[in-house]
Structure 1
Amino acid sequence: MTELSDSELDRYARHIVLPQVGGLGQRKLRAARIAVVGAGGIGSAVIPSLAGAGVGRLTIIDADSVDLSNLHRQPIFREKDEGQPKAELAAAFVGKLNRFVEVAAVRERIDAESASSLLTGHDLVIDGTDNFATRLAVSDACVQLGTPLLSAAAVQFQGQVALFRSRPCYRCFVGDAFDADDCDTCAEQGVLGALAATVGSLAALLAINSIVGVGGDQAGKLHLFDGIGLSWRQIRIPADPNCRVCAHRSA
């Protein structure tokens, strides 16, 4: 890893002064390649946090366009952006926020056929999509590629974040019943905007900690947030011995 430039040292000074991060941790962030699947409510918190932190390359994957009903939970967009592609707008946001971050916009719907090719070459994938079919396709591809997956979701007043390293995988958590595209999304159930921001911020923090090496490995732990009771709880996700995707993988 090359040394940080003087401009980078100035920009990331408040990171570098942290003994848990330092110059080495900041260089690890600069070397990281992260794919963010979904520039929605979760992505709108994840993307600025990672770009601000100095993650070297971000790939933003989202096939949708901005809708007015998005804006209460997607503050990286504006009313004038209605109808414009989210991925490209989010990439432009990153470019304005931090010139040291390389960013790519992928305006493509990720599914079981395309997931592996879109996600290959990344050190971490963060999935903030709002339907099970997409999440499972992303998870299955990450298991195949051996790429860590950070899955985050928010609906109504409930949020969850978990890091997976092949086994257990996200499919161990939810099973096979949710592969259909017609499962509930936040469009049907609703979601509090601040709840999505809270969950997305935790996902970004877990991503940064994982890259830098802070706090130990969080893989296989599910962080649940109750937005009404304002409480977090943590549970461990067991590996499904019969999982059709990761059962052949080492724990």
Structure 2
Amino acid sequence: MSNLYLSGYPVRTLHRVSLQGILFLAISFASMVALQGDLGAAPENAAVLSRIDGDSASLWLAPAARPGAWRALKRGALAPVGSLIKTGPRTHAILVYKGLEFRVGPASVLAINELVQRGKSSLTVQKGAAWFHLQKNTDQQLDVHTPTSLAAVRGTKFAIMATGSAGEQGKACVCEGTIAVGTNKDGDNLQELHTGQSLQWQSAGSKMTLYDYSKLFKGRQVDPAFLKRKEAASMQYCLSCHKPGKADQPNNSPDFSDY
């Protein structure tokens, strides 16, 4: 194949192209080794940063083993297993990995624990909020943790939030499908959560409170009555994407535009 591609080049040009190719491969391999050594994961086990909304300068990555070693991220960058993603107060980051999409909300920290195309991937919302879309009819499963909870997922769209000084408080809500949530990180006594429902908890092992918003939401549009709910203050992350208004009004929010 390479002979056909280079058949029109003089011999000396062919040598130059080959040397350039070898040099490029050597640099790429060295970069890959450095990345793997720093984060403990091969690049193929990495999510790709596909989009940044808001303040693109306030997005960082660090190895989980060295959480203070933050470096700026740009669109197209890799986020390997064993890394942390941190966003600023006005930044959304959208990452994809082979049928899994996760969107890190503002002022949030997310850990990438495991990414596998077949089997169970694992992510942790350490602080803030993240939205997830795991495609249906695949061999993928997903566990999403917070400091005090676990959500087990297969083929759905949902969000997880970790609030409080140490992420001990939390909320889960489902846009489409079903997830199972528990405040025991070992996955015991999970409670199912369905489309339009939300669960809220205060600490590890605490009782979870169920809310049903299924009549107030239609896609990304939310009925204005939602804002009158006494617990609406805790739904600030939802309202960054679900905009109040009538169901037939357009929603021009920049994030989650493919929902």
TM-score between the two structures when normalised by the length of structure 1: 0.30
- Structure with the largest fraction of strand: 2
Structure with larger RCO (C-alpha < 8 A, sep 6+): 1
- Structure with the largest fraction of helix: 1
TM-score between the two structures when normalised by the length of structure 2: 0.29
